[in-house]
Structure 1
């Protein structure tokens, strides 16, 4: 009897395993190359059926600098700052409220400064001073060599964007959507604009940074507007609605990029716009990008958002390639020698061939990052959510040789 029961059990298990095997499908291919992007329905083929790039890239970690964490008990910290490289130093603030100057060669901390609130934006270095803001509506000017405080000024709400420093003024965009003009020497407020964002609901971050061009300051808003202010007094010259208000989010959180007499911005609803700087007229738009900043490298424009990275022709807006990384949170692209790099909030860093869009290298980054990468020569810098500054060296070796197949 026991033998009969055991035999039945074996048959049942074999049947279950057979059904599971019949239902099994190989896992979907997570990444695909540029030539595959044109055949999106075929992206789920087996990974081995595709030809990989011949380029061989090595990304080796050189140094890690640990910075102050907001709390010992905070198991999931977030860092939104982007390191700033200037004259052999890294300047960066962290969510714990500390701002650092770090030697890029020795990788040691030169000085630190304790701010009143969390620091979640990139700094600006100009004329021997470094300027930044915090999440408690403070703006700081420190001596770049010693970290001594020059002045501290109050604005209306959190500062999540990099300050614009030009001439004798410092321009600050705040979370309310206002633009503040401060005296560079004293921090005294000269004027501020009215907010465009009060009547609008959900927003991504309101982290758009102001950019100066030909006497106008360009700034995006969480209401989906690109606004051109007069530099002297903050008066509006023109506005253009870019974000689709029917979308759940439609912020213009990207830093405007200028090429000739055109300005390029992306919106949180995954659109890229080319706009005439004189009239504010939209020349073209494309379904690409997101809340990150577009960049120009060579004769191509690169954007990230919507789970991937794309290269476009800046003149006509035509796609050159698209690379789907299936990563919801991607940094702005950073350009190196014949590659673009992006980091994700899910602990991955990618190097992508700038010409073809092929993935050249990827690696694990502990904690991921909400900030952007910085590339200088053959070095790559990033502030991870774990509160560490990672430094990587990028090396390219001779192309791999492929065996001929009959």
Structure 2
């Protein structure tokens, strides 16, 4: 009963999705039948946060579903029946998706006067720490904190709308390093992606690879097309979708282009990989299934 602006999670034969009607749905992955639905804040009247195109996508770990809401809460639900296990109220709307790692939940809240990264205990929902992030207030209010965190090497990686990405100590919440590009303001809707000791960032028309521990630039690959979607990483390769109808395969060790495919329209869908095939949603109303010729 609403537009779907989040990505589904598929676990153990179930599909979990959160459309704009304020509910989380659990569907049978094989026939689409409804297993349960649960209100996660209900419908939120349009305002600065609900006008954006992005929504929090559910994350399922150990039979628990974690998702953020425009009502400022992060919800932890029983993945089998949808019952609420706990919820934690932040100080602003949540459009980013939670990262769950090593017993903790990390999520970004776009609060009225600041941006904030929260670390919560995944079992109890108790606050471990909160890190405020630099911000600027765009026209209409809010901080447009849409990038979702990723975790690796004892660090949490996230972004703010001050043209910056951050490497944050996962234990203490301290900012260890900052990568900044003053030209990339509108492109920081993309989430940093961690893989094998590296973090991959969208830097306007380029993909930049930095070291996870210190943020040192390892390589930069100029794509030459607008990048609004986070890349996907698997098996030493990056899969990149552009706003000019291209799908690139890059070597994650040096950024070299291995292959390129052109679709009939642009895409704002992050690519997914399964069984040696790449799946990409497209604005031509199609889902593309591509075989990776580099495999």
Q: TM-score, normalised by structure 1?
A: 0.62
Hey, what does 1:266 align to over in structure 2?
Answer: 202
Task: Give yes or no for contact 2:161–2:185 (8 Å, CA) kept in 1.
Answer: no
For the pair 1:280 / 2:215, whether they are aligned, the reply is yes
Hey, what does 1:92 align to over in structure 2?
Answer: 17
SS in 2 for 1:105: coil
**How many corresponding residue pairs?**
278
Hey, what does 2:120 align to over in structure 1?
Answer: 182
Match of residue 149, structure 2, among 189, 205, 210: 210
SS in 2 for 1:162: coil
For the pair 1:291 / 2:216, whether they are aligned, the reply is no
How far 1:96 sits from its partner (Å)?
0.4
How far 1:248 sits from its partner (Å)?
6.0
Hey, what does 1:194 align to over in structure 2?
Answer: 132
Which structure's residues are more often strand, by fraction? 2
Match of residue 281, structure 2, among 334, 340, 343: 343
Hey, what does 1:108 align to over in structure 2?
Answer: 33
Cα distance in 2 for partners of 1:353, 1:168 equals: 36
Hey, what does 2:165 align to over in structure 1?
Answer: 226
Hey, what does 1:126 align to over in structure 2?
Answer: 61
- Following superposition of structure 1 onto structure 2, how do residues 140-151 of structure 1 map, counting pairs within 5 Å? 140-151=75-86
Q: Assess, with a 3 A threshold, how the Cα gap between structure 1 residues 111 and 261 changes in structure 2: closer, same or farther.
A: same
- Following superposition of structure 1 onto structure 2, how do residues 283-322 of structure 1 map, counting pairs within 5 Å? 283-288=218-223, 290-307=227-244, 308-322=246-260
Task: Give yes or no for contact 1:223–1:250 (8 Å, CA) kept in 2.
Answer: no
How far 1:180 sits from its partner (Å)?
0.9
Aligned-CA RMSD value: 2.7
Hey, what does 1:29 align to over in structure 2?
Answer: none
SS in 2 for 1:193: strand
For the pair 1:256 / 2:193, whether they are aligned, the reply is yes
SS in 1 for 2:133: coil
Match of residue 261, structure 2, among 317, 323, 341: 323
Task: Give yes or no for contact 2:131–2:173 (8 Å, CA) kept in 1.
Answer: yes
SS in 2 for 1:100: strand
Q: Which deviates further from its counterpart, 180-189 or 97-106?
A: 180-189
Q: Assess, with a 3 A threshold, how the Cα gap between structure 1 residues 292 and 205 changes in structure 2: closer, same or farther.
A: farther
Cα distance in 2 for partners of 1:182, 1:248 equals: 28
Cα distance in 1 for partners of 2:30, 2:101 equals: 29
Cα distance in 2 for partners of 1:247, 1:130 equals: 33
How far 1:281 sits from its partner (Å)?
0.9
Q: Assess, with a 3 A threshold, how the Cα gap between structure 1 residues 134 and 345 changes in structure 2: closer, same or farther.
A: farther
Q: TM-score, normalised by structure 2?
A: 0.83
Q: Assess, with a 3 A threshold, how the Cα gap between structure 1 residues 314 and 169 changes in structure 2: closer, same or farther.
A: closer
Larger Rg: 1
How far 1:114 sits from its partner (Å)?
1.1
Per-residue Cα deviation, 1:280-300 (whole angstroms, up to 9, x for no partner): 111111223723222234443
Q: Assess, with a 3 A threshold, how the Cα gap between structure 1 residues 213 and 96 changes in structure 2: closer, same or farther.
A: same
Which structure's residues are more often helix, by fraction? 1
How far 1:235 sits from its partner (Å)?
0.9
Q: Which deviates further from its counterpart, 317-326 or 307-316?
A: 317-326
Task: Give yes or no for contact 1:252–1:265 (8 Å, CA) kept in 2.
Answer: no
Cα distance in 2 for partners of 1:205, 1:328 equals: 23
Task: Give yes or no for contact 1:293–1:303 (8 Å, CA) kept in 2.
Answer: yes
Q: Assess, with a 3 A threshold, how the Cα gap between structure 1 residues 250 and 117 changes in structure 2: closer, same or farther.
A: same
Task: Give yes or no for contact 1:221–1:253 (8 Å, CA) kept in 2.
Answer: no
Cα distance in 2 for partners of 1:271, 1:142 equals: 38
Q: Assess, with a 3 A threshold, how the Cα gap between structure 1 residues 212 and 349 changes in structure 2: closer, same or farther.
A: same
